[in-house]
Structure 1
Amino acid sequence: MNPIFKHGPSAQHRLVLVLFCSALLIFFDHKLASFDTVRGYLQSFVSPLQYLATTPKQMVTWAAENLATREQLIEENQNYQRQALAFDQQLMELNILKQENDRLRSLLASPLRADIKKMVAEIVSVNSDPYTHQIVINRGASDGAYEGQPVIDDQGIVGQILHVGTNTSRVILMTDVTHAVPVRINRNGVRLVATGTGRIDRLTLNHVPHSTDIVSGDLLVTSGLGGKYPEGYPVATVISVTKNESNAFAKVLSVPVAQIDRIRYLLLLWPEKDDSLFSPKAGNNKNSSQAEKS
């Protein structure tokens, strides 16, 4: 439908009029500051619209920052957990090394005679047979070890080498039933023989007369007889003495001074070169696996 009134300003005239009005408004605003108050009202009116317009962007920015921060915190937490595990492992290794260092210090500080050469050895395996008390150490013929060589820890006598290999040796413990140690009572010098009982914490003394001056608490040390063990090393402590006249001999039990069930490091002893009693030849006899007799 066509409009009734077609007369009016053309688009060109409207554009010129708008430009002219704009120029007048700019002139009055710049020179006379006539629209400061109006601009303030307009700004206050438009501010909520501007806030609403920027809200989506702010929300997206906040969400992105928080998500990134959360992922970063999770990653940092995982890194800290891994570092904590690594530190715990290092601490455990340091504790193990400290314990081994303490054992070695105690071992090297044991009361050794000055004329005896020594070498540290480590246990590599233990005989699983409950009736045989033997261990394997990481020293052999290449290290100068020999059969019958005495073995001690930081407390006292442990046993002697039974068989020697190139790099390892088998040690028979003094608690083995086939092993015996010539000892003497440290208090009065009475000589006896301590024999293994098959129990890791017991030794027995053979053929002790009822008249023997021995009491509970006496310290037994090596007598030096038999050519195996040097004299004066602690062996065991007497824990019970039973004298029954119906028996020919008193029953004497003792507990080894060395903690045989806990040892890891040992000392191999060599005699002085000119000491014929403890020469390697004396240790290389065929009967080193049998009980020593005083």
Structure 2
Amino acid sequence: MIIKLIFTRGPSLNVRVVLCLLAASVLMTADHYHRVTWLRSGLAIAVYPVQWLAHAPQELGNQVWSNFTGRAQLLKENRQLKAEISRLKRRTLKYEALKKENDRLRAFLDNSFKLGEQMLVAELLAVNLAPYEHVVLVNKGGHFGVHVSQPVMSVDGVVGQVIRVTPVNAEALLITDPSHAIPVQVNRNGLRAIAVGSGHLDRLEVPNLPNNADIQPGDLLITSGLGGVFPQGYPVAKVTDVAPQPGKPFARISAKPTAKLDRIREVLITWGQSTPKPFLPAVTPAATPSEGTADAP
């Protein structure tokens, strides 16, 4: 049977070519007149899986590459945006700090005009808050006319007074130092007293007032002008506690400084004299040779 199939001869090659050409011509003619649309659709449906399988590797590779490059681009943009956010945050913090500093300096200027004193703005360089010594170092000294016993203020009230001066800086003793005392009076009724430092930044002591003294929590203590150091009328502290002591002649009175001594960054060094003190020493002009000749006998 196998030998018969091998040696069986079919139509010749020429006949096959003619038949193929004839079939092609018939199909082309029928397709031209849209007679085999159904056949084209059926063949397209039958061939679609083969086409999809043929294109699947390329499509998969393109998708993987696109996802990879897209992820890398997103990561790069994410890093750039994070860096930009950090930069903007730093700039915002810097602007906020500058705004607060500008507000403080504006308050200093307004306070200077209000009080009518000559004032010099100084910045704190160092703070010494040892248990028994409250001293701050400021960046203005003798070169700017600063002198010992000069009052030091803030926009909220009295800070202290200058105790040591060098040409480039000065040290100020805070009113909370245990060795510091300042004459005050109650703003409500004019009662005079002495406010003494307690060694704590948030408390002053007002000793030597009798138990029946007319003073109560909430009273504002201002400088009385006695002693010749602090001009009259500057806020010093607010009374926080008044405790009469039975069996003792004097009450225990505490007050809180109006100046924020634990957070100040700039202070006002004031001059109480009516004649302003120059910030820079005056330059004495040298005598000319002609003047020296004229004065000679």
What TM-score do you get using the length of structure 2 for normalisation? 0.74
Q: Which residue type is aligned with residue 269 of structure 2?
A: L
1:220 CA displacement:
1.7
| Structure 1 range deviating more: 127-136 or 83-92 | 83-92
The aligned residue for residue 224 of structure 2 is 223
Deviations 1:147-206 (A, max 9, x none): 222111121111011112233221100111211112222223233222212222222234
Q: Which residue type is aligned with residue 174 of structure 1?
A: I
Structure 2 counterparts to residues 1-294 of structure 1, below 5 A: 33=31, 36=36, 41-110=42-111, 113-209=114-210, 212-244=213-245, 246-247=247-248, 249-274=250-275
Partners of 2:271 and 2:51 in 1: CA distance: 96
Unaligned runs of 5+ in 2: 1-5, 279-297
What is the percentage of aligned positions where both structures have the same residue?
Answer: 35
Asked if 1 retains the 8 angstrom alpha-carbon contact of 2:112 and 2:119, the reply is no
1:233 CA displacement:
0.5
Partners of 1:50 and 1:236 in 2: CA distance: 92
1:232 CA displacement:
0.6
Q: 1:145 to 1:25 in 2, by over 3 A?
A: farther
Give the match's secondary structure for 1:127: strand
Asked if 2 retains the 8 angstrom alpha-carbon contact of 1:207 and 1:249, the reply is yes
Partners of 2:189 and 2:151 in 1: CA distance: 24
Deviations 1:202-258 (A, max 9, x none): 222344356654344332211112221111101122334455574454443322222
Partners of 2:15 and 2:144 in 1: CA distance: 115
Q: Which residue type is aligned with residue 62 of structure 1?
A: Q
Q: 1:17 to 1:258 in 2, by over 3 A?
A: same
The aligned residue for residue 285 of structure 1 is none
Partners of 1:155 and 1:93 in 2: CA distance: 25
Q: 1:161 to 1:28 in 2, by over 3 A?
A: same
What TM-score do you get using the length of structure 1 for normalisation? 0.74
Unaligned runs of 5+ in 1: 281-294
Greater relative contact order structure (CA < 8 Å, 6+ sep): 1
Give the match's secondary structure for 1:155: coil
Q: 1:30 to 1:211 in 2, by over 3 A?
A: closer
Give the match's secondary structure for 1:268: strand
Q: 1:210 to 1:49 in 2, by over 3 A?
A: closer
Deviations 1:68-88 (A, max 9, x none): 222222222232222333333
1:62 CA displacement:
1.4
| Structure 1 range deviating more: 205-214 or 118-127 | 205-214
Deviations 1:269-292 (A, max 9, x none): 1234438xxx89xxxxxxxxxxxx
Q: Which residue type is aligned with residue 75 of structure 1?
A: K
Q: 1:20 to 1:242 in 2, by over 3 A?
A: closer
| Structure 1 range deviating more: 91-100 or 197-206 | 91-100
Q: 1:42 to 1:206 in 2, by over 3 A?
A: closer
Partners of 1:249 and 1:168 in 2: CA distance: 41
Give the match's secondary structure for 2:104: helix
Q: 1:241 to 1:67 in 2, by over 3 A?
A: closer
Partners of 2:40 and 2:238 in 1: CA distance: 107
1:44 CA displacement:
4.2
Asked if 1 retains the 8 angstrom alpha-carbon contact of 2:117 and 2:272, the reply is yes
Give the match's secondary structure for 2:81: helix
| Structure 1 range deviating more: 205-214 or 53-62 | 205-214
